[in-house]
Homo-oligomer: A and B are copies of this chain.
């Protein structure tokens, strides 16, 4: 079974509330290459079904959760493309691990509850120390949210 990007993170950096495999209370978002991307562009994909309490107002998903999912899908995608561009296996050392420098989100339509959401990431800039990922959050074929993650290599001061 394919491992998610986040499952390749070093164990001591896998505590993220949004996507860390070691954070039992967290969202544990899992991101993958989007193998079925039909436009020939490298894309990444994640799925997430919000819990009933992840609500904004009844029937709609909380925007802060959507921001969180975009954030983690962005930094995960940044790590994955960095390994790919370096022709290295994911998980090999030294690890590529990115953090978010900026997060810009437009909420285009209320996101309905009770549906497994799809996040699709596309790269708009790929540099060694900085990757920009554009992410659509899709509910039943409708783009509800568009976000951009400016991911930068984790500063050595953080580890």
Query: Which residues from chain A sit less than 8 Å from chain B, CB to CB?
Result: 12-13, 15-18, 20, 23-26, 51, 53-60, 62-65, 67-69, 71-72, 99-107, 110, 154-155, 157-159
Taken together as a complex, chains A and B put the C-alpha atoms of A100 and B63 apart, in Å, by 7
Copy number in the complex reads 2
* With known contacts A101-B107, A104-B105, A53–B26 Cβ distance under 8 A: yes
* With known contacts A15-B55, A58-B12, A58-B15, A103–B105 Cβ distance under 8 A: yes
Name the distance in Å between A76's Cβ and chain B's nearest Cβ.
13
Contact B57 A159 (CB under 8 A): yes
Contact A65 B68 (CB under 8 A): yes
Name the distance in Å between A156's Cβ and chain B's nearest Cβ.
12
Ordered by A's residue number, 13 sampled pairs between the chains whose C-beta atoms are within 8 Å are A16-B62, A17-B62, A17-B64, A23-B55, A25-B53, A64-B65, A64-B69, A67-B67, A67-B103, A67-B105, A99-B110, A100-B107, A110-B157
